[in-house]
Amino acid sequence: MQADEIKSLVIDALDDMKAQNITVLDVRGRTSVTDWMVIATGTSNRHVSAVAGNVEEKAKAAGLRASGTEGRAASDWVLIDLFDVVVHVMTDQARHFYDLERLWGEPTASGNQGTAQE
């Protein structure tokens, strides 16, 4: 499965579970770890866990195997590594605290980081 297909599958799985503020960051050329980061917000720890579970379920049904999943115990930030696409499902509080969009967003003309959304 190509990275764009994985990305679409992830976005659909997030959307199915009503994840909020889905953001896609193109990190190709800035890290060798992955090509895309998809970040989404869950409304509670339970919602974060359910959303992440749906992503894992849809990926597995499509024949994908995650290289790893982290954060299931606390469920304020669950990371799912699908190789070419890394998925971050976070509570609003965790998302604001870690601010991944600022860290990994597209550089702007002034050199500051911005966000890229698809």
The model's pLDDT over 79-95, given as tens digits with 9 standing for 90+, comes to 999 999 999 999 999 99
- CB atoms inside a 10 Å sphere around CB 87: 29
- Domains in the chain: ranges and CATH: 3-100 (3.30.460.10)
pLDDT at residue 106 is higher than 80: no
Span 34-49, mean pLDDT? 96
Provide DSSP, 18-62. Answer: T-EEEEEEE-TTT-SS-SEEEEEEESSHHHHHHHHHHHHHHHHHT
pLDDT-derived band of residue 109, with 50, 70 and 90 as boundaries?
very low
